[in-house]
Amino acid sequence: MNLRQVEAFRAVMLTGQMTTAAELMSITQPAVSRLIRDFEHATNLRLFERRGNQIIPTQEAVTLWKEVDRAFVGMNHIAVLAKEIARQAAGTLRIAAMPALASGVLPRFLARFLRDKPNLQASLSGLPSSMVIEAVAAGQAEIGYADGPLDRPGFIIETQSMAAVVAMPDGHPLAAKDVIHPADLQGQRMISLEPGTVFAMRVEVALAGVQRLSNVETRLSHTALSLVSEGAGIAIIDPTSASEFTDRGVAVRRFGLFIDAGFLAIQPANRSRSDIVDRFMREFIIFHDAWVSGG
């Protein structure tokens, strides 16, 4: 038994005629007849009764047809899936990301990315940056987005730098200024990110010597911005998170000193690169930059 014989059997069952089956397979009618004879010999079954120009499937042929058709449906699925993979619309995409990205802009982009890719399986995990790095290192994620810097071998790293911004409640007196300088924050109530992250350390260095009130600490940017929106104080924050709150009672202004509030895009260096992963990373940066700038 070979696949060509099975194809001939299927074509005859679909069309009910040897001649039409031959046209379907782009071969001659005698070739179809020979394939059917060989198939009957290989299966030791009588599959068709010949009555003049007509061929009538036997009960054995009808029973066998059910399984053959199911197999060809599976083969068609494989063919479709292969085409999807070729056009970068199928496969697996596992993403681990710091909360500032995983809580807003990243799931927005992922939803758009998946719209025309029904065979692409994706997962998105929001994790602290240290755990993002470990997830990529352990092969649990193809892509990681984490706070930097990262001085560790075994990764392909792309740095996305952004300037931190100042977020304050709508109507705050400082909202009248286009740029907020450290001295402007003298005596202001500040919402601080908990110590322990590189970004929190950068903020403290930038505000060294500035006396301010700090009665709230939080680990997450989105939590800090929720507090800002309720009038609890001012926060120096990453622009990605701030862009989620511009219509939720928060005014965002540039900060007079550059504080890097960007992130790292991380891939494992010891595994082959995937076209779908490269495409996702490339298109996400474009979407992210447009989102943050309000485009």
pLDDT of res. 89? 46
The CATH superfamily assigned to 90-161+262-292 is Periplasmic binding protein-like II (3.40.190.10)
Q: What is the pLDDT of residues 60-91, one digit of tens each?
A: 888 888 778 777 766 655 555 455 545 544 46
pLDDT of res. 165? 96
114 phi and psi, to 5 degrees?
-85, -10
List Cβ neighbours of 292 (8 Å cut-off, separation of 6 or more).
105, 162, 239, 240, 243
Handedness of CA 98, 104, 108, 111 (dihedral sign): positive
List helix spans (H) across the chain.
Answer: 3-15, 18-25, 29-43, 59-86, 99-102, 105-114, 129-137, 198-206, 221-229, 239-242, 275-292
3 state DSSP class of 278? helix
Q: What is the pLDDT of residues 254-272, one digit of tens each?
A: 999 999 999 999 998 877 6
Q: Are strands 143-146 and 155-160 parallel, antiparallel or unpaired?
A: unpaired
Q: Which CATH number fits domain 3-86: 3.40.120.10, 1.10.490.10, 2.60.40.10, 1.10.10.10?
A: 1.10.10.10
Tokens 């010891």 correspond to 270
The CATH superfamily assigned to 165-255 is Periplasmic binding protein-like II (3.40.190.10)
pLDDT of res. 88? 47
Tell how far CA 10 is from the center of its chain: 39
pLDDT of res. 75? 60
Residues of the chain with pLDDT under 70: 53, 73-91, 272, 295
- Nearest CA to 201 out of 236, 244, 234, 229 is that of 236
List Cβ neighbours of 34 (8 Å cut-off, separation of 6 or more).
none
3 state DSSP class of 55? strand
Question: How far apart are the C-alpha atoms of 195 and 200, rounded to whole Å?
Answer: 6
- Nearest CA to 229 out of 213, 212, 214, 251 is that of 251
pLDDT of res. 274? 76
* Structural domain spans, the chain: 3-86, 90-161+262-292, 165-255
In the sheet where 143-146 sits, what is the strand order? 119-126, 90-97, 143-146, 263-268, 155-160
Q: Are 90-161+262-292 and 165-255 equal in CATH topology?
A: yes
